[in-house]
Amino acid sequence: MSETASAYLGHATRTPVIACHECDLLQRESAVPTEGALRCCRCRATLYRRHANSLDRTLAYALAACVLWIVSNAFPIVGLSVNGDVVETTMFGAVRVLYRDGMWPLSALIFITTMLMPACQALGLVWLLLPLRLGRTPYRADAVFRSLRVAQEWGMTEVLILGLLVALVKLAHIAAVVTGPALWSFGALMLLLAAAASAFDARDLWSRLQGVPDAGPAFDSDTPFAGETAAACGLCVCHDCGLLTRAAPAQARDEGDYANVHAAVHVPAHAAHCPRCGAHLHLRKPDSLARTWACLIAAVILYIPANVLPVMDTSSLFGAQKDTIMSGVVYLWTSGSWPLAVLVFIASIAVPMLKILAIGFLATSANLRSTWQPDQRARIYRLVELVGRWSMLDIYVIAVLTALVQFNALATVRAGPAAIAFGAVVVLTMFAAMSFDPRLIWDARKTE
């Protein structure tokens, strides 16, 4: 169930106001029922959700996820049985094999996205919520909260599970596959982390912490806003915790009058940091378009070797074979696994190209200050953010195959140079999407 946020000319006495993190529209808060959501009345972005027993449920999920993370990384994920001998690997074993083969950038990427970030996500939630459950204040809650946001963006257990399923299909044509306990625990870990992220209510967390602001500024019911957006009123919205704060005079000088704001939390002129979580505050992301174009151009350049060079080298008694991403899709199709072939084609070939085109379109339209269909462009931006991580699918498949198929003279699999290029494309397109400020889509409307 969801509700549309009330328009910014509502009628309430000292009503708290919030700003949309995607279009910067300043609007009054309204009551949200349990399990409901408040959405921006202009771009339809979700402003916040309200959950019943949010923090207790999240803590339970996070504690269980900590246990499953240990199981997932201590036991084998999958193994191959050849002539009575079983070759097994853990996730850390796959990382170690890649590092040994000189593929340390790929090794580091897999370690960060499948081991480090999921651990940081589960431990970060426990760090924040367990002291609150015991009636205490968590130490450095601001820094842990910011780290938690990064961990949620870069943890990719759901993509890993899909990659493992594709790897199992390929391994079944080599030898008998033996599934390990970590395969099932990784699946459960994925569900628990998703449930924890869904149940976590940051607004409830900050309302329970003492000594930090738990709400933004309030407006008198008969006081109109000085501008349509938060920036026009000299206000900054924190992209980490969502707190609306007054900008420093140097920041807001050219953004409009904000004299009508009452009870705003001030940002000191010498330090533009959120007074609640400590994140850097900006009316707009600094050099947003320049950084977006830099990452995007680098991704376009690397996209060519990622699809032309071999992504995997296979050596056996019958000779050597070099596979590209497309040849891997063809192999899955001809072996009868056409659903997985379609999935790998979409995730590894179509999605990266569509991401590059979509981000390029958004950046170009923002550069030209286009007013064409801002709501549609906002939906494109959300879609790019949603599908960005799924391109990592092929990287995880390569990691598992490289770790398991090590039979020396019989057969060996090694990651090819295209694997590093492809991993870089995925990371660069994610950085490009993160660098792009979606509020630029709506800023051009001020010149109409």
Sole residue written with tokens 């084609």: 345
In 3D space, the residue among 202, 212, 48 whose CA is nearest the CA of residue 129 turns out to be 202
Torsion of CA 228, 231, 236, 241, to 10 degrees: 50
Residue-level length of the chain: 448
369, 247: one domain = no
315, 222: one domain = no
Q: What is the pLDDT of residues 172-218, one digit of tens each?
A: 877 788 889 999 999 999 999 999 999 999 888 998 887 777 666 66
Q: Is residue 276 part of a domain?
A: no
12, 38: one domain = yes
Percent of the chain predicted with pLDDT > 70: 85
Q: Identify whether the C-beta of residue 145 lies closer than 8 Å to the C-beta of residue 138.
A: no
Average predicted confidence (pLDDT) for the chain: 84
Q: What is the mean pLDDT of residues 157-168?
A: 90
CATH number for 330: 1.20.140
Number of domains in the chain: 3
310, 172: one domain = no
Q: Identify whether the C-beta of residue 327 lies closer than 8 Å to the C-beta of residue 316.
A: no
Joined together, the tokens standing for residue 93 give: 């074993």
Q: Is residue 223 part of a domain?
A: yes
Of 188, 208, 228, the last residue of a domain is 208
Give the predicted TM-score (pTM) of the model.
0.87
39, 138: one domain = no
* Domain membership of residue 171 as a residue range: 54-208
- Whole-number pLDDT of residue 249: 54
Q: Is residue 274 part of a domain?
A: no
11, 122: one domain = no
Residue 227 C-alpha from the chain's centroid: 32
177, 227: one domain = no
Q: What is the mean pLDDT of residues 152-179?
A: 88
Of 208, 241, 261, the last residue of a domain is 208
7, 109: one domain = no
